């Protein structure tokens, strides 16, 4: 699309939305974000709103009480081998279509969405109680679309939504936020067919825009900051698409 070459470059601004309360199942996230935008005096139009997965999952009730989980034999065996809570492993296996790797106390799982990440994205930290697990949304694209519609109904126009989660990577230490769903923006900015500065055709410069937005937002959305959403302006909000564009076709993947 080459959108970036056609528009004059301007600054990108990343604004934290503070004051979003602890989230409970059924909460109206659009209304809470609308209020936070008002409190923070943020003009929530024409930009990308990055929202951490956890508050989406909580509003959708994607919370499991570990006390109610009965681990099966596979979960018990894996938990014993890796020194984990078998109930947690049971929850992880329930979210997993395939274990891609396991070792060093880590389960790298492929989720039903096609995401590959540690523990199928199941998270204990920041859960409402010690014995809770927060699961990924069933369909983060749908969650993003609902939030976008809710914000539109409250008068916020042209707001792209990116749902972010914090993933590890092979070969590199440290975590980086990535997108697990989006709405109202092309997930991949496809520059194929454009030309580089020397006039040669760019072959495969397809930037993962939603992942760059998630990572940028992650600079403010640290676990300890209590900031679950940020608004990013200064980037072109164009196109649309879904997570399937971000997930590499397994037949083309060298690391499955």
Contact between 63 and its own copies by CB under 8 A: the answer reads no
Q: Which of residues 73-112 bind its own copies (CB under 8 A)?
A: 101-104, 106, 108
Contact between 187 and its own copies by CB under 8 A: the answer reads yes
| Shortest reach from residue 114's CB to its own copies, in Å | 8
| Shortest reach from residue 49's CB to its own copies, in Å | 15
Q: Which of residues 207-236 bind its own copies (CB under 8 A)?
A: 207-209, 211-213, 215-216, 218-220, 222-227, 234-235
Number of residues that bind its own copies (CB under 8 A): 80
Q: Which of 79, 135, 151, 191 binds its own copies (CB under 8 A)?
A: 191
Q: Which of 30, 78, 116, 161 binds its own copies (CB under 8 A)?
A: 116
Extract the tokens encoding 52.
């951490």
Q: Other CB atoms closer than 10 Å to residue 234's CB: what's the count? A: 13
Extract the tokens encoding 188.
């991949």
| Shortest reach from residue 8's CB to its own copies, in Å | 10
User: Closer CB to its own copies, residue 71 or residue 241?
Assistant: 241
User: Closer CB to its own copies, residue 138 or residue 207?
Assistant: 207
User: Closer CB to its own copies, residue 18 or residue 35?
Assistant: 18
Q: Are 75 and 86 in contact (CB under 8 A)?
A: yes
Contact between 142 and its own copies by CB under 8 A: the answer reads no
Q: Which of 128, 152, 238, 242 binds its own copies (CB under 8 A)?
A: 128
Q: Which of 30, 147, 177, 182 binds its own copies (CB under 8 A)?
A: 177
- Residue 114's contacts (CB-CB under 8 Å, 6 or more residues apart) are 243, 244, 247
Q: Report how far residue 139's alpha carbon sits from residue 212's, in angstroms, rounded to the nearest whole number.
A: 21
Which part of the chain contacts its own copies (CB under 8 A), choosing from 15-23, 29-37, 90-98, 143-151? 15-23
| Shortest reach from residue 163's CB to its own copies, in Å | 15
Q: Are 140 and 53 in contact (CB under 8 A)?
A: yes
First to last CA, the chain: 30
Q: Report how far residue 162's alpha carbon sits from residue 214's, in angstroms, rounded to the nearest whole number.
A: 7
Q: Report how far residue 232's alpha carbon sits from residue 241's, in angstroms, rounded to the nearest whole number.
A: 19
Contact between 197 and its own copies by CB under 8 A: the answer reads yes
At 63, phi and psi to the nearest 5? -125, 135
Q: Which of 94, 194, 238, 242 binds its own copies (CB under 8 A)?
A: 194
At 179, phi and psi to the nearest 5? -90, 135
- Residue 33's contacts (CB-CB under 8 Å, 6 or more residues apart) are 17, 20, 44, 49, 51, 147, 151, 229
């Amino acid at each position: 699309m080459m959108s970036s070459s056609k528009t004059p470059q301007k600054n990108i601004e990343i604004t934290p939305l503070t004051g979003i309360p602890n989230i409970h199942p059924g909460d109206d996230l659009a209304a809470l974000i609308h209020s936070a935008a008002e409190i923070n005096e943020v003009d929530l139009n024409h930009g990308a709103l990055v929202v951490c997965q956890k508050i989406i999952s909580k509003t959708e009730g994607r919370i499991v009480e570990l006390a109610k989980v009965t681990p099966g034999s596979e979960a018990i065996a894996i938990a014993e081998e890796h020194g984990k809570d078998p109930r947690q492993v049971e929850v992880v296996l329930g979210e997993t279509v395939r274990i891609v790797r396991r070792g060093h106390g880590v389960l790298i799982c492929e989720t039903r969405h096609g995401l590959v990440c540690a523990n199928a994205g199941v998270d204990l930290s920041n859960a409402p109680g010690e014995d809770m697990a927060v699961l990924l949304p069933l369909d983060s694209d749908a969650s993003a679309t609902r939030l976008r519609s809710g914000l539109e109904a409250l008068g916020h126009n042209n707001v792209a939504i990116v749902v972010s989660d914090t993933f590890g990577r092979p070969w590199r230490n440290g975590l980086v936020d990535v997108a697990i769903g989006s709405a109202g923006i092309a997930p991949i900015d496809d520059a194929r067919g454009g030309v580089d500065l020397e006039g040669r055709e760019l072959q495969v410069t397809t930037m993962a825009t939603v992942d760059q937005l998630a990572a940028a937002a992650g600079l403010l959305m640290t676990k300890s900051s209590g900031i679950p959403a940020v608004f990013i302006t200064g980037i072109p909000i164009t196109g649309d698409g879904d997570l399937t564009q971000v997930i590499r076709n397994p037949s083309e993947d060298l690391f499955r």
